[in-house]
Amino acid sequence: MHLELAKLPYEKKLAGLDLAPGMKRRTQQRLQGQEESDLRIGDVTKGPLPWNKESFDYVLSTFVFSAISNDKAAIDEMVKVLKPGGKLIIVDAGVAQNRNVMSRFLAWLWEVMGDYMRDETQLLSLRDDIESVTREDYGPWGCVHVTVGEKKK
């Protein structure tokens, strides 16, 4: 996904925040020879993101949103660093839109293990500063979903 973002036709600098130093190293290796990047080790659940307001055209959260207990604070921070007209992209696991039995079972299992299953589409649609929210389901039983919201200009 990082390499796909690096191909986007914007003046760009890729930035990332991860708890795991190994993931930071792996991403740096993947981006070698690409655009400038600002990759940091940190915990998104422990206060504000380490970037200025309206810094990014895209904010991408991959399989982290279900691990965050305070969904409102997390979305507030992601939207804060997003430029007007920018896109917030949340990739995570959960119940498929068609609510098939396997996706509900897996979501229940993830919750038992401590994850938070939620509908990011609903969370983004309730915000005054986000518009045109879409969601696509992928993977086995539609358990992986990509939710995209655009920050109002």
Residue 14 has pLDDT above 80, yes or no: no
Instruction: Work out the average pLDDT over 43-69.
Output: 83
- Higher pLDDT: 31 or 75? It is 75
Predicted pLDDT of residue 105? 97
How many of the other CB atoms lie within 10 Å of CB of 58? Answer: 16
Instruction: Work out the average pLDDT over 48-67.
Output: 86
Q: Left, alpha or beta for 3 (phi > 0: left; psi -120 to 50: alpha)?
A: alpha
Predicted pLDDT of residue 51? 83
Predicted pLDDT of residue 26? 77
Q: Give the pLDDT band of residue 30 (cuts 50, 70, 90).
A: confident
**CATH class assigned to 43-151:** alpha beta
- What is the Cα–Cα distance from 147 to 126, expressed in whole angstroms? 14
What letter would DSSP give residue 1?
-
Q: Where are the domains of the chain?
A: 43-151
Q: Give the pLDDT band of residue 10 (cuts 50, 70, 90).
A: low
Residue 5 has pLDDT above 60, yes or no: no
Q: pLDDT tens-digit profile of 101-126?
A: 999 999 999 999 999 999 999 999 99
Predicted pLDDT of residue 99? 96
Strands across the sheet with 82-93, in order? 56-62, 82-93, 144-151, 130-138
Lowest-confidence segment of 54-58, 98-102, 124-128 by average pLDDT = 54-58
Distances from the Cα of 61 to the Cα of 10, 33, 73, 101, angstroms: 19, 23, 14, 26
